[in-house]
Homo-oligomer: A and B are copies of this chain.
C-alpha cells in the first residue's frame, strides 16, 4: 500500500527521510499544509511507522526546526567569515557582524516556512524534550546559531570596535531588529524580495551601530 516502492521492508533511515520530507513539505505549501500522514506518504511508509521515531507530529516539526537552525548557523558563519577575510581588525569585526545580520534575514526570506517553524509555538509546547530529545536545555534548538552570534559579538569588543560596556546590550540590540525585519518580511508587512531586503538592512544597520557607539568610519559602505 506504500505509495513509493521500497525494496526492503525496513526503510533503513526513516527518521532522516521523514525530516527531509517534512522540510520539503513545509517549504512547498507552508506550515499549515504539513501533515504527518503526507510526510509518511512521501517517504513511502505507513503513517504509524513515523511514531517509532517521533512521539508527535510536533516532534517532527521540532526536528524540522533543528535542521533549520543548523543550516542557519552554517550560513551566518560562512558569510561572516567571508566578510571578515577581506578586512582587518575592528573593521573586519564590524563587517562580519553586518554580514551575519544580513545572512540571518536572508535565510528567513529564502526559507520562510522553515523559519516560521523554527520560531513557532511548537518548540516549547509541552514538557516534552525541547528538540532532539535532550531535556536539559529549553532552547537547545538554536544553540549553534546562538553560539555563532556570541562569537561574533565578542570579536566586536575584542577588536576594539565596540566598548566593553556595550557588550551586554548588543545582543538584544542586534537580534531584535534583524528578527523583526525578518518576520515583517516573511509575514508580508514588507515586500520579501532581495532588493527590499538589502535596502531595509542598510537603513537599519547604520543607526544601530552608531547608537551602540561604533565609530562611523568603521562601517563599511
Which residues on A are within 8 Å of B, measured CB to CB? 30-32, 116, 119-121, 123-124, 138-139, 142, 169, 172-173, 175-184, 187-190, 200, 203-204, 206-212
Contact = CB atoms under 8 A, between A and B. Distances in A.
Given A203-B173, A207-B211, A187 B119 contact: yes
Contact of A203 (B121, B169, B190): B169
A203 B177 CA distance: 12
B177 A120 contact: no
Contact of A116 (B121, B139, B178, B189): B121
Given A119-B189, A210-B211, A176 B169 contact: no
A142 B179 contact: no
* Residue of A30, A169, A178, A211 with highest tally of chain B CB at under 10 A: A211
B188 A176 contact: no
Contacts of A188: 121, 123-124, 138-139
Contact of A121 (B31, B175, B176, B181): B31
Given A189-B142, A210-B210, A175 B184 contact: yes
Nearest to A177: B177
A120 B124 CA distance: 18
